[in-house]
Amino acid sequence: MALNHIEQGEVFAWRKKQLAKGGTSENLDWLLDFAAGISWSDLQKNHIDSRFFIYPTQSLDQVELMWNEHIEGNVPLQYLVGRCSWRNFELEITPAALIPRPETELLIDFALERVDAGNTGYWTDLGTGSGAIAIALGRALPKWQGHAVDLSNDALELARRNLQKLSPASATKCLLHCGSWWEPLKPWWGLFSLAVVNPPYIPSGLMSELDPVVRENEPHLALFGGEDGLQATKEVIDGANNALSKGGLLCIEHHHDQSDFVLELMVEAGLDNVEFEKDLEGVRRFAIARRPCLN
């Protein structure tokens, strides 16, 4: 059913009413854009020029119900609209998986600048969640074969839908596996030229300090990495020497204060070319290493 256009000034009055309930204007404008197709620039045009009409894709009453759920129930907006933007695509998002974070977008760039996209090879995305990393790798490395792993079957189903929709060509070249880290990939051990991993890395003791929007909604399997936050990271690094090909690259994201520990774990595991990369805020957020060519 087509919706009527919105009168001049109506959205601004509506915004004021919603913000009085709480939340940030940044989040409210994101919701208006994603849920009703009302961008900030359309709002401005409508404000300045009464002949510029806004035609929402969803009524403001329906958007208000979502905002209420966000404010009263701490539900992330991405779960409410079921979508989120990440790199140059828009993913389906459900509470089965972590909402992909902007810093993880950089992990893809750091990985891709270290591999030869023109070659053939095998990549893996361990802990794929929504499939965000797998889609980015599948698109950038069309000649390679991909393997995405997760312990959660529900997350894998979501990743499958996202891969089929957003990267149909590479979906046929990406196998999905349910299991723990390297374990389901045993038949391919020794073949992986690239592993990109965003493991659960928050120390469990920090649970009470987390924003309730995160703590009460996103899967704990995707967030917490045991007492020191490093349980999953240790398992991934421990398996790298068997699973990577000689010279194969491992790129891991970690908590803002884990850089020294993760780099040390990589050195102890006998990996080579151990280095860090920083996120957009200048924080050492990624650890990168290679399996030695000679072992």
Residues that bind ligand SAM (CB under 6 A): 97-98, 100, 104, 127-130, 132-133, 149-152, 155, 180-181, 198-200, 221-222, 232
Cβ proximity to ligand SAM, 38 vs 108, nearer residue: 108
CB closer to ligand SAM out of 46 and 78: 78
Shortest Å, Cβ 7 to ligand SAM: 40
Task: Kindly state the smallest distance separating residue 177's Cβ from ligand SAM, in Å.
Answer: 9
Q: Nearest approach, Cβ of 220 to ligand SAM (angstroms)?
A: 9
Q: How many other C-beta atoms are found inside a 10 Å radius of the C-beta of residue 222?
A: 21
How far apart are CB 91 and ligand SAM at their closest, in Å?
Answer: 9
Specify the residue, 46 or 233, whose C-beta has the smaller distance to ligand SAM.
Answer: 233
Cβ neighbourhood burial of 119 (10 Å; 0-12, 13-18, 19+): exposed
Cβ–Cβ < 8 Å for 76, 106: no
Amino acid identity, position 10: E
List Cβ neighbours of 117 (8 Å cut-off, separation of 6 or more).
140, 141, 143
Nearest CB to ligand SAM, comparing residues 220 and 246: 220
Both tokens of residue 179? 């299991």
For residue 110, which amino acid is it?
A: F
Distance CA 175, CA 171 (A): 8
Give the pair of three-digit tokens for residue 239.
Answer: 């398996």
Q: Which of 70, 234 has the CB closer to ligand SAM?
A: 234
Using CA atoms, how far residue 250 sits from 27, 58, 227, 230, 284, in Å, is 35, 44, 24, 16, 16
Smallest separation (angstroms) from ligand SAM to the CB of 254: 10
Cα–Cα nearest to 73, from 250, 176, 259, 213: 213
Q: Shortest distance, CB of residue 27 to ligand SAM, whole angstroms? A: 19
178 close to 151: Cβ distance less than 8 angstroms:
yes
* Closest of 267, 277, 274 to residue 290, by C-alpha: 274
> Whose Cβ is closer to ligand SAM: residue 155's or residue 244's?
155
